[in-house]
Structure 1
Protein backbone atom coordinates (compact mmCIF):
# COMPACT_ATOMS: atom_id res chain seq x y z
CA UNK A 1 0.00 0.00 0.00
CA UNK A 2 1.56 3.35 -1.00
CA UNK A 3 2.13 5.82 1.80
CA UNK A 4 0.05 8.96 1.92
CA UNK A 5 0.60 12.20 3.77
CA UNK A 6 -0.13 11.80 7.47
CA UNK A 7 -1.49 14.56 9.69
CA UNK A 8 -0.14 14.13 13.23
CA UNK A 9 -2.30 15.66 15.96
CA UNK A 10 -1.39 17.09 19.35
CA UNK A 11 -1.95 14.47 22.07
CA UNK A 12 -2.21 17.18 24.76
CA UNK A 13 -2.88 20.92 24.94
CA UNK A 14 0.05 23.27 25.41
CA UNK A 15 2.86 25.26 23.82
CA UNK A 16 4.71 23.62 20.94
CA UNK A 17 8.50 23.55 21.31
CA UNK A 18 11.37 22.13 19.31
CA UNK A 19 13.03 18.90 20.37
CA UNK A 20 16.26 20.71 21.23
CA UNK A 21 14.38 22.22 24.21
CA UNK A 22 13.69 18.74 25.66
CA UNK A 23 15.95 18.07 28.69
CA UNK A 24 16.91 14.62 27.43
CA UNK A 25 19.88 14.19 25.06
CA UNK A 26 18.27 11.33 23.11
CA UNK A 27 15.15 13.34 22.24
CA UNK A 28 17.02 16.66 21.91
CA UNK A 29 19.41 15.20 19.33
CA UNK A 30 16.60 13.58 17.36
CA UNK A 31 18.08 10.10 17.85
CA UNK A 32 14.64 8.52 18.20
CA UNK A 33 13.34 10.49 15.23
CA UNK A 34 12.26 14.00 14.32
CA UNK A 35 9.20 15.71 15.72
CA UNK A 36 8.15 18.31 18.26
CA UNK A 37 7.44 18.55 21.96
CA UNK A 38 4.53 20.10 23.79
CA UNK A 39 4.81 21.89 27.13
CA UNK A 40 1.44 20.83 28.52
CA UNK A 41 -0.99 23.20 30.16
CA UNK A 42 -0.58 22.94 33.93
CA UNK A 43 -3.29 23.45 36.50
CA UNK A 44 -5.56 20.63 35.35
CA UNK A 45 -5.59 17.71 37.76
CA UNK A 46 -5.86 14.97 35.13
CA UNK A 47 -5.25 15.03 31.39
CA UNK A 48 -6.10 12.43 28.76
CA UNK A 49 -3.33 11.97 26.20
CA UNK A 50 -4.92 11.37 22.80
CA UNK A 51 -3.82 9.20 19.89
CA UNK A 52 -2.02 11.54 17.47
CA UNK A 53 -3.01 9.35 14.49
CA UNK A 54 -5.39 6.50 13.86
CA UNK A 55 -3.84 3.06 13.89
CA UNK A 56 -2.85 0.21 16.16
CA UNK A 57 -1.28 0.58 19.61
CA UNK A 58 2.12 -0.89 18.71
CA UNK A 59 3.70 -0.23 22.12
CA UNK A 60 2.26 1.02 25.38
CA UNK A 61 3.76 1.79 28.76
CA UNK A 62 2.24 4.01 31.41
CA UNK A 63 4.51 6.90 30.37
CA UNK A 64 4.70 6.38 26.57
CA UNK A 65 2.95 4.82 23.62
CA UNK A 66 3.37 4.24 19.88
CA UNK A 67 0.52 4.29 17.38
CA UNK A 68 1.31 2.63 14.04
CA UNK A 69 -0.29 0.64 11.32
CA UNK A 70 -3.47 0.97 9.28
CA UNK A 71 -4.28 4.67 9.57
CA UNK A 72 -0.61 5.60 9.78
CA UNK A 73 0.56 3.34 6.96
CA UNK A 74 3.78 1.66 8.01
CA UNK A 75 4.75 4.67 10.11
CA UNK A 76 4.81 4.91 13.89
CA UNK A 77 4.28 7.95 16.10
CA UNK A 78 5.71 7.92 19.62
CA UNK A 79 4.16 10.00 22.41
CA UNK A 80 6.32 10.25 25.56
CA UNK A 81 4.51 11.73 28.58
CA UNK A 82 7.15 13.71 30.45
CA UNK A 83 10.88 13.18 30.71
CA UNK A 84 12.37 10.47 32.95
CA UNK A 85 8.81 9.46 33.89
CA UNK A 86 9.72 5.80 33.41
CA UNK A 87 11.15 6.16 36.94
CA UNK A 88 7.61 6.53 38.27
CA UNK A 89 6.94 2.87 37.37
CA UNK A 90 3.40 3.68 36.29
CA UNK A 91 2.41 5.73 39.37
CA UNK A 92 0.10 8.53 38.28
CA UNK A 93 -0.68 7.03 34.86
CA UNK A 94 -3.76 5.08 33.79
CA UNK A 95 -3.82 3.13 30.53
CA UNK A 96 -7.00 3.65 28.52
CA UNK A 97 -5.99 1.46 25.56
CA UNK A 98 -4.29 -1.91 25.17
CA UNK A 99 -1.43 -3.25 23.11
CA UNK A 100 -2.74 -4.29 19.69
CA UNK A 101 -5.95 -2.26 20.01
CA UNK A 102 -7.02 -0.24 17.00
CA UNK A 103 -7.58 3.38 17.97
CA UNK A 104 -8.96 6.41 16.16
CA UNK A 105 -7.09 9.68 16.00
CA UNK A 106 -8.05 11.78 19.08
CA UNK A 107 -9.03 8.69 21.10
CA UNK A 108 -7.78 8.83 24.72
CA UNK A 109 -4.87 6.43 25.29
CA UNK A 110 -3.40 7.37 28.71
CA UNK A 111 -4.73 9.46 31.61
CA UNK A 112 -2.00 11.31 33.58
CA UNK A 113 -1.21 14.46 35.53
CA UNK A 114 1.48 16.80 34.17
CA UNK A 115 1.15 18.74 37.46
CA UNK A 116 2.09 15.60 39.41
CA UNK A 117 5.11 15.01 37.15
CA UNK A 118 6.31 18.59 37.75
CA UNK A 119 5.67 18.27 41.52
CA UNK A 120 8.00 15.24 41.49
CA UNK A 121 10.76 17.40 40.00
CA UNK A 122 10.52 16.05 36.45
CA UNK A 123 9.82 17.77 33.15
CA UNK A 124 6.27 17.38 31.84
CA UNK A 125 7.31 18.06 28.22
CA UNK A 126 5.63 15.65 25.80
CA UNK A 127 7.81 14.67 22.81
CA UNK A 128 5.80 13.57 19.75
CA UNK A 129 8.15 11.69 17.45
CA UNK A 130 7.86 10.43 13.87
CA UNK A 131 9.78 7.17 14.32
CA UNK A 132 12.49 6.46 11.76
CA UNK A 133 11.39 9.44 9.65
CA UNK A 134 13.50 11.59 7.41
CA UNK A 135 13.33 15.08 8.98
CA UNK A 136 12.90 16.53 5.49
CA UNK A 137 9.55 14.71 5.24
CA UNK A 138 7.99 16.70 8.11
CA UNK A 139 6.30 20.09 8.09
CA UNK A 140 6.43 21.12 11.74
CA UNK A 141 3.87 23.34 13.43
CA UNK A 142 4.37 25.92 16.17
CA UNK A 143 2.48 28.02 18.69
CA UNK A 144 -0.18 26.88 21.12
CA UNK A 145 -2.34 23.82 20.48
CA UNK A 146 -5.38 22.19 22.00
CA UNK A 147 -5.46 18.40 22.33
CA UNK A 148 -6.47 17.01 18.93
CA UNK A 149 -5.26 20.05 16.94
CA UNK A 150 -2.95 19.59 13.96
CA UNK A 151 0.69 19.38 15.11
CA UNK A 152 2.69 18.42 12.03
CA UNK A 153 2.45 16.74 8.63
CA UNK A 154 4.48 13.65 7.75
CA UNK A 155 4.76 13.54 3.98
CA UNK A 156 4.93 10.36 1.93
CA UNK A 157 8.06 9.69 -0.08
CA UNK A 158 7.78 11.48 -3.44
Structure 2
Protein backbone atom coordinates (compact mmCIF):
# COMPACT_ATOMS: atom_id res chain seq x y z
CA UNK A 1 0.00 0.00 0.00
CA UNK A 2 1.37 3.40 -1.03
CA UNK A 3 0.13 6.77 0.22
CA UNK A 4 0.61 9.43 -2.44
CA UNK A 5 0.99 12.94 -1.05
CA UNK A 6 0.51 16.26 -2.77
CA UNK A 7 3.48 17.71 -4.62
CA UNK A 8 1.79 21.13 -4.46
CA UNK A 9 -0.29 23.37 -2.22
CA UNK A 10 -3.67 24.33 -3.59
CA UNK A 11 -7.18 22.99 -4.05
CA UNK A 12 -7.94 19.39 -4.99
CA UNK A 13 -10.28 19.39 -8.01
CA UNK A 14 -10.26 15.78 -9.20
CA UNK A 15 -9.30 14.54 -12.67
CA UNK A 16 -12.77 15.24 -14.12
CA UNK A 17 -12.05 18.98 -13.74
CA UNK A 18 -8.80 18.86 -15.75
CA UNK A 19 -9.16 20.79 -19.03
CA UNK A 20 -7.61 17.97 -21.08
CA UNK A 21 -9.55 14.87 -22.22
CA UNK A 22 -6.57 12.53 -21.80
CA UNK A 23 -6.37 13.35 -18.08
CA UNK A 24 -10.07 14.01 -17.37
CA UNK A 25 -10.96 10.68 -18.99
CA UNK A 26 -8.34 8.93 -16.80
CA UNK A 27 -6.67 7.55 -19.95
CA UNK A 28 -3.24 8.04 -18.36
CA UNK A 29 -4.48 6.50 -15.11
CA UNK A 30 -6.58 7.30 -12.05
CA UNK A 31 -5.66 9.96 -9.53
CA UNK A 32 -6.61 13.54 -8.85
CA UNK A 33 -5.53 17.07 -9.71
CA UNK A 34 -4.45 20.16 -7.82
CA UNK A 35 -5.33 23.73 -8.76
CA UNK A 36 -2.14 25.25 -7.31
CA UNK A 37 -1.65 28.43 -5.33
CA UNK A 38 -0.61 31.17 -7.78
CA UNK A 39 2.89 31.91 -6.52
CA UNK A 40 6.41 30.70 -7.27
CA UNK A 41 6.77 27.29 -5.68
CA UNK A 42 8.51 23.93 -5.74
CA UNK A 43 6.78 20.73 -6.80
CA UNK A 44 7.95 17.99 -4.43
CA UNK A 45 8.15 14.21 -4.71
CA UNK A 46 4.78 12.58 -3.86
CA UNK A 47 6.46 9.28 -2.80
CA UNK A 48 9.93 7.97 -1.96
CA UNK A 49 11.50 6.41 -5.03
CA UNK A 50 13.41 6.64 -8.28
CA UNK A 51 12.88 9.45 -10.79
CA UNK A 52 12.15 7.40 -13.93
CA UNK A 53 11.00 10.27 -16.16
CA UNK A 54 11.96 13.93 -15.97
CA UNK A 55 10.78 16.84 -18.11
CA UNK A 56 10.58 20.54 -17.26
CA UNK A 57 6.77 20.28 -16.89
CA UNK A 58 6.35 16.71 -15.59
CA UNK A 59 8.04 13.92 -13.68
CA UNK A 60 7.44 10.32 -12.64
CA UNK A 61 8.66 8.80 -9.38
CA UNK A 62 8.51 5.02 -9.02
CA UNK A 63 8.35 3.68 -5.47
CA UNK A 64 9.86 0.44 -4.14
CA UNK A 65 6.62 -1.44 -4.96
CA UNK A 66 6.84 -0.46 -8.63
CA UNK A 67 4.09 2.17 -8.41
CA UNK A 68 4.80 5.03 -10.83
CA UNK A 69 3.31 8.40 -9.89
CA UNK A 70 3.12 11.11 -12.56
CA UNK A 71 3.08 14.77 -11.55
CA UNK A 72 2.15 16.95 -14.55
CA UNK A 73 2.59 20.67 -13.87
CA UNK A 74 -0.20 22.40 -15.74
CA UNK A 75 -1.91 21.50 -19.01
CA UNK A 76 -0.23 21.92 -22.42
CA UNK A 77 2.83 23.24 -20.56
CA UNK A 78 5.08 21.14 -22.82
CA UNK A 79 4.44 23.98 -25.32
CA UNK A 80 6.36 26.35 -23.03
CA UNK A 81 9.56 24.45 -23.93
CA UNK A 82 10.82 24.46 -20.35
CA UNK A 83 10.46 28.24 -19.93
CA UNK A 84 9.69 29.04 -16.29
CA UNK A 85 10.59 25.57 -15.00
CA UNK A 86 13.81 24.75 -13.13
CA UNK A 87 14.78 21.11 -12.62
CA UNK A 88 16.17 20.39 -9.16
CA UNK A 89 16.83 16.65 -9.65
CA UNK A 90 17.67 14.41 -12.60
CA UNK A 91 16.27 11.23 -14.12
CA UNK A 92 17.82 8.32 -12.20
CA UNK A 93 17.98 10.18 -8.88
CA UNK A 94 16.55 8.68 -5.71
CA UNK A 95 14.18 11.13 -4.03
CA UNK A 96 12.41 11.25 -0.69
CA UNK A 97 8.76 12.21 -0.26
CA UNK A 98 8.62 16.00 0.09
CA UNK A 99 11.95 16.60 -1.65
CA UNK A 100 11.77 19.53 -4.12
CA UNK A 101 11.88 18.30 -7.74
CA UNK A 102 10.94 21.28 -9.96
CA UNK A 103 10.69 25.04 -9.30
CA UNK A 104 7.88 26.76 -11.22
CA UNK A 105 5.35 29.58 -11.07
CA UNK A 106 1.69 28.64 -11.69
CA UNK A 107 0.81 32.33 -12.17
CA UNK A 108 3.35 32.60 -15.03
CA UNK A 109 1.90 29.44 -16.62
CA UNK A 110 -1.55 31.02 -16.45
CA UNK A 111 -0.22 34.31 -17.85
CA UNK A 112 1.19 32.32 -20.80
CA UNK A 113 -2.34 31.13 -21.57
CA UNK A 114 -2.02 27.61 -20.10
CA UNK A 115 -3.98 26.02 -17.26
CA UNK A 116 -1.89 25.55 -14.10
CA UNK A 117 -4.14 22.67 -12.94
CA UNK A 118 -1.77 19.79 -12.22
CA UNK A 119 -2.80 16.12 -12.50
CA UNK A 120 -1.22 13.62 -10.11
CA UNK A 121 -1.78 10.18 -11.62
CA UNK A 122 -1.19 6.55 -10.64
CA UNK A 123 0.34 5.11 -13.81
CA UNK A 124 -0.79 1.69 -15.03
CA UNK A 125 -3.37 1.41 -12.23
CA UNK A 126 -7.05 0.58 -12.34
CA UNK A 127 -9.51 3.03 -10.79
CA UNK A 128 -10.40 0.50 -8.09
CA UNK A 129 -6.73 0.28 -7.05
CA UNK A 130 -7.03 3.70 -5.37
CA UNK A 131 -8.88 4.66 -2.23
CA UNK A 132 -9.53 7.87 -0.29
CA UNK A 133 -8.91 10.06 -3.34
CA UNK A 134 -8.91 13.80 -2.54
CA UNK A 135 -11.15 15.51 -5.10
CA UNK A 136 -12.11 18.70 -3.24
CA UNK A 137 -10.87 21.02 -0.54
CA UNK A 138 -7.61 22.71 0.28
CA UNK A 139 -4.48 20.56 0.22
CA UNK A 140 -1.11 21.43 1.71
CA UNK A 141 2.14 20.35 0.13
CA UNK A 142 2.68 16.87 1.55
CA UNK A 143 -1.01 16.36 2.37
CA UNK A 144 -2.52 12.96 1.51
CA UNK A 145 -4.00 12.72 -2.01
CA UNK A 146 -4.80 9.03 -2.37
CA UNK A 147 -3.88 5.54 -1.26
CA UNK A 148 -2.71 2.99 -3.84
CA UNK A 149 -3.79 -0.40 -2.49
State the TM-score, normalizing by the size of structure 2. Answer: 0.96
Is 1:82 matched up with 2:78? no
Which of structure 1's runs of 4+ aligned residues deviate more than 2 A? none
Partner SS state of residue 102, structure 2: strand
Report deviation, 1:137. Answer: 1.4
State the TM-score, normalizing by the size of structure 1. Answer: 0.91
Q: Who wins on radius of gyration, i.e. which is larger?
A: 1
In structure 1, stretches of 5+ residues that fail to align are: none
Is 1:153 matched up with 2:147? yes
Alignment correspondent of 1:101: 93
Superposed, which structure 2 residues align to 1:1-158 within 5 Å?
5-42=1-38, 44=39, 46-70=40-64, 73-139=65-131, 140-141=133-134, 142-155=136-149
In structure 2, stretches of 5+ residues that fail to align are: none
Distance of 1:113 and 1:131 partners within structure 2: 25
The CA RMSD over aligned residues, in Å, is 0.7
Partner SS state of residue 136, structure 1: helix
Distance of 2:129 and 2:13 partners within structure 1: 18
Distance of 2:128 and 2:106 partners within structure 1: 31
